[in-house]
Amino acid sequence: MKDGIRRGLSLILFATLFFLPIGFFKVNRVLNGSVFSLWELGYAWMLVLFALFSTFKIEFKWLRYLRTGFLIVLPSVLIYISQRYVITEIYDPNVARISLGPSIYLAIIGAWVLLSTETKGTLKITLSLLALLVLFGLGMFPMLGLYKEYINRQASFFLELQRHLSLAVSSLLFALIPGIYLGYQSTRHPRLREWIMGFVNGFQVAPTLSMLALLMIPLASLGQSFPFLRAWGVKGVGFLPAFIVLSLYALLPITSNTYTAFKQLDPSVMDSAKALGMSSKQVFSKVSFPLALPFIITGVRIAFIQNIGNTILAGLVGGGGMGSLIFLGLAQSATDLILLGSLPVVLMAMGFEVILEFTELRLKKKMGVLYDQA
């Protein structure tokens, strides 16, 4: 997107602060609250005026630095001042809470879109996000419903976060070798490819939830019949059914991308390697596999991002993870708890996407197989 378009977009996004609700004031955890707008926050509208001006092109170097600093802290400042909403009725500050309204989310996106027009934009956006997270963790937003839910269950939040990551990572690792093997074999045996792809696609099409439910019964009976398996965690609920389902789901991106990776190799490269006297094993390990690796990593990246989202369902079968927070929030009708569960998943997915894409790019450059990519 051209810079001009991005600046125009930011302008619109900042302008929504003027007419869309900036927050909801809730008297307690469950009931929906009353909306409030920017105009009820005293002089906060001046801040938005600055934000609007910041979308214009700035010539002076120092003004530009000021603008960058302003944009980086803008999200945190907006959330902070939304807590200043003055309520006229009597309320208990421990119980009443603020939920963020649509215009704050849009304005935060606006600030980040504007930051993306600057040099090292991704770094600055990350800084802005980090500032938000650090201030959140330090308790600078105590009136935020999201914070109140977080502080009430801090220990279990991090425990579930760790469980979520370990489930996503371990199921991915488990699917890695079979996925690569199947993908490679698909290139060697074209007839087998149909079967392998059909098999792997089947798991993508099957609804994850049904697979989880179907797995519960055989796993439970298996665990009951063989006690030593139970000690190893073979149960109908918990870690194992989620692990199995997630591994099967991760198979498709890995297999499919491995197939493409090996298929796109230039046969003349392999021929030259053979001509140099390499055995077929050496050709594979020193030539084919390293050349295919960047594209295999693409498949791993896709599988991992997919897994992070899918792991939410583990919460339904007692497997822990952010899903358990989301479903608890649904059951208790506490929207901030649902957010507390879903926001980390979104942030993790986005974060890993950036990291893994970066790794991929480095690897591709190193391998010297960087093709022109849009």
Partner 1 sequence: MKKYLTLLSLIALLTLSACAPTIAEKAPVTVATMLDSEGSVLGKMIILALNAQDIETVDKINFGTPDILRAALENAEVDLVVDYTGSGQYYHPEDARDASIWNDPIEGYNFTAQLDREKKDIIWLTPSPANNTESIAVTRAFAEAEKIESMEDLAVYINAGKTFKLIASASFVENPMGLLGYEEAYGFKLTNDQIISLASGNTAEMLKALAEGTNDVNASLVYGTDGALDKLNLVVLEDPKHIPPVYLPAPVVRKAVLDVYPEIETILKPIFESLTLETLQSLNAKVAYDGEDATMVAGNYLKDNGFLD
- Compute the distance between CA of residue 242 and CA of residue 171 in angstroms, rounded to an integer: 9
Any contact of residue 87 with partner 1 (CB under 8 A)?
no
- Range in contact with partner 1 (rule: CB under 8 A) among 39-47, 93-101, 193-201, 249-257: 93-101
Contacts for 191-194: CB closer than 8 Å, 24+ residues apart: 193/259
| CB nearer to partner 1: pick between 97 and 193 | 97
Any contact of residue 83 with partner 1 (CB under 8 A)?
no
CA pseudo-torsion sign 345, 349, 352, 354: negative
Any contact of residue 341 with partner 1 (CB under 8 A)?
no
- Range in contact with partner 1 (rule: CB under 8 A) among 62-70, 267-275, 295-303, 332-340: 332-340
Sorted by sequence, the CB contacts under 8 Å of residue 255 that are 6+ apart come out as 179, 180, 182, 183, 186, 196, 197, 200, 299
| CB nearer to partner 1: pick between 11 and 159 | 159
Structure tokens belonging to residue 149: 């839910």
| CB nearer to partner 1: pick between 95 and 355 | 95
Structure tokens belonging to residue 105: 């989310």
Neighbouring CB atoms inside 10 A of 120's CB total: 11
CB of 181 to partner 1, least distance (A): 11
Locus of tokens 């084919």: 288
Structure tokens belonging to residue 296: 């295999």
Any contact of residue 29 with partner 1 (CB under 8 A)?
yes
CA-to-CA dists, residue 216 to 164, 212, 221, 350, 365, angstroms: 19, 6, 9, 31, 45
What 3-state class would DSSP assign to 24? strand
Site string for partner 1, 223-252 (x = CB under 8 A): xx-----xxxx-xxxxxx--x---------
Pick the binder of partner 1 from 4, 28, 130, 347 (CB under 8 A): 28
| CB nearer to partner 1: pick between 122 and 333 | 333
Per-residue b or e along 311-342, where b marks 16 or more CB atoms closer than 10 Å to that residue's CB: bbbbbbbebbbbbbbbbbbeeeebbbbbbbbb
Structure tokens belonging to residue 331: 């059951």
Any contact of residue 218 with partner 1 (CB under 8 A)?
no
Pick the binder of partner 1 from 1, 30, 123, 276 (CB under 8 A): 30
CB of 268 to partner 1, least distance (A): 26
Segment 142 to 181, residues that bind partner 1, using CB under 8 A: 145, 148-149, 151-153, 156, 166, 170, 173-174, 176-177
Q: How many residues line the site for partner 1 (CB under 8 A)?
A: 48
List contacts with partner 1 (CB under 8 A).
Answer: 28-32, 92, 94-95, 97, 145, 148-149, 151-153, 156, 166, 170, 173-174, 176-177, 220, 223-224, 230-233, 235-240, 243, 281, 285, 316-318, 324, 327-328, 331-334
